[in-house]
Structures are given as C-alpha cells and as structure tokens.
Amino acid sequence: MLFGKRERKLKRILIVEDEPLVAFDNEHFLRDAGYDIVATVDTVPEAISAISDEVDLVLADVNLSDGGSGHDVARAAQGKGVPLIFVTGSCPDGAKTLAVGLLSKPYSQRDLLAAIDAVDAKLSGKTPKRVPKSFTLFVE
C-alpha cells in the first residue's frame, strides 16, 4: 500500500505506573490509538509476573507504589527480551543499559505516541520520523 500505515512491531503494551490518573489516561489513550494493553499494574511483583511473550513493550515508572524500583522491572523485561521505556520525572542511574529510552514527565499524549513510534521504527531498523524533545532514545 502506497499510503497505508505500516505494520507495528510493538502492539501489546504493559503499563507499570503508580499514579492512578496517569495509568488510567495512558491505558485508555493507547487503547484508543490501537494498542492492546496487556495489563496496567503498580507494583514490581505484578509487573514482573505480567512480562511474558504476550508483551511487546513495557512503559515503566521508576518509583512504584510498593516502594519498589522500575530498575527491577527493567531487568526482568531485559531478561525476557522485551523492550522498556522508562516514563519518569528524572533519569535513573543505569537507564541506558536497562531501557530503550526515557520519556520525561510531564509529557503529552502526542509525545507518548511519538516515543513508542520512535522505538518501533528503531527496532524495525528504520529511522524514526519524529523524536519528541521529552524523549531520549537509547538504542542505536
């Protein structure tokens, strides 16, 4: 198709977020944008148990409601070969070795979609069309 949308590599998303409003907004916005939300969780154990072959991408906050760290979620995702974007107010130590990118809070829904699209393009071997200012892409 000349003008058709390209097939997404990242379709099924796990949201790991302890701020209920942010989690709710992201879940509904991404679902409306055509993504499948595998789960929305707010603790490290829930996140780790949700990471499976059914997940194409994890969006994870760094500080979670159980006092746990998104670092643990990132290590679990990395161990299963699932890319992760940190979605947080400040860049955590070691982020570049654990995640494919970092989206700084606060961010717009448009920037969230553009960040996911940039990761999708990069993982598909393409150059991203748009990388928002609030997003740092770590993958080469």
Q: What pLDDT digit, counting tens, does each position of 34-55 carry?
A: 999 999 999 999 999 999 999 9
pLDDT for position 5: 58
Q: In 3D, which of 78, 33, 21 has the Cα closest to residue 55?
A: 78
For domain 12-124, give the CATH superfamily: Response regulator (3.40.50.2300)
What is the C-alpha R_g of the chain? 14
Q: Where are the domains of the chain?
A: 12-124
What phi and psi, each to the nearest 5 degrees, are found at residue 58? -115, 130
The answer to whether 105 and 88 are in contact (CB under 8 A) is yes
Q: In 3D, which of 65, 64, 56, 58 has the Cα closest to residue 102?
A: 58
| E strand or H helix at 30 | helix 20-32
The answer to whether 131 and 114 are in contact (CB under 8 A) is yes
Tens digits of per-residue pLDDT, 43-91? 999 999 999 999 999 999 998 888 888 999 999 999 999 999 999 887 7
Rounded Cα–Cα distance for residues 55 and 110 (Å): 22
Q: How confident is the model at residue 6 (pLDDT cuts 50, 70, 90)?
A: low
